[in-house]
Every structure is written in structure tokens, then in C-alpha cells.
Amino acid sequence: MKATIWHNPRCSKSRETLAILTETSGVEVEIVEYLKTPPDRDRLKEFYARAGISPAQGLRKGETVAKELGLAGASDDAILDAMANHPILIERPLVETEKGVRLGRPPEIVREIL
């Protein structure tokens, strides 16, 4: 099975999720550092739909740019646009397999799609 993790190596939850993936037998892990290679708006929309969460649930609300853009209570479209332009706003890590997508918070939740 292939698993793609949209990863930030500076994030402890992202590192913990990556460890779960690499320690799981039979999982081929692709690591994408999303701050260097961000997903586009359409891909983000797809991720959140497959994960069963809203873009607002995938937003890093505490980031300064989120506050500056007034994203609290914003529409899904406005949040997706902001994430596409400012990838730091994407809550991490996102993990994708053929079984679905999960936001690794808590990291153990990714086991659902392995």
C-alpha cells in the first residue's frame, strides 16, 4: 500500500504520524513537504472531502496570516483560497491512501486508512 504524507518536519505531530507510517509493515511512504510543494486548491478541497472534514477544520487558525485575513467564520471557498496562497495555513499532517485521507491529529487516526 502507498501512503502519501503532506509533511512538515518541524511539526511534532507530523513527525509522529510519519513514524507510524514508516513502522507499519507493507506501507510505501511518499513524503511531500507541503510548505515546499503545496497542494493546489482543488487538491485541498478533495482531501477535505475524502477526510470528511470541512476546510475550516483543516485550517491552522492560530497562524498570524489567518487572523490578518479574518478567516474565523469565513466560507470554505475563502479558506481554500487562503490555504492555496499561504500553505502555512494548512493543518498538518494530511495522509492519503487508497482507503481515504486523514488529518493526523491525533497521529493514531491514520491507522484507519492503512
The residues annotated as belonging to the active site are 11
Which H or E element spans position 5?
Answer: strand 2-7
For the purposes of burial, counting CB atoms within 10 Å of the CB of 38, is it exposed (0-12), middle (13-18) or buried (19 or more)?
Answer: buried
Quick check: bond before 55 cis, omega within 30? Answer: no
